[in-house]
Amino acid sequence: MIKVVQQNLFSLNVDAIVNSANVSLLAGSGICGVIHKNAGKELEKYCKTIGKQDYGSAVITPSFNLSPLCKYIIHACGPRYLDGQRGEAELLDLTHQSIIKVAIANNLKSIVIPPISTGVYRFPVEQAAQIAIQAVAKTLLLSNYEMDVYFAMKDADKYLTYSEIWKKSIEIKSQ
Name which of 137, 118, 27, 120 is nearest 73 in CA terms.
27
pLDDT digit string, tens, across residues 107-120: 999 999 999 999 98
- Between the two ends of the chain, the Cα-to-Cα distance in Å is 18
| Helix or strand run (H / E) with residue 118 | none
Q: Can you give the pLDDT at residue 102?
A: 98
Give the bridge partners for 13, in sequence order. none
pTM above 0.85, yes or no: yes
Q: Can you give the pLDDT at residue 173?
A: 61
Amino acid at position 6, single letter:
Q
Q: Can you give the pLDDT at residue 59?
A: 98
Q: With contact defined as beta carbons under 8 Å apart, do 154 and 122 qualify?
A: no
| pLDDT block averages, 10 residues each, the chain of length 175 | 94 96 91 94 96 96 93 97 94 98 98 96 96 97 96 96 92 60
Fold of the 2-174 domain: Leucine Aminopeptidase, subunit E; domain 1 (3.40.220)
Q: Can you give the pLDDT at residue 28?
A: 85
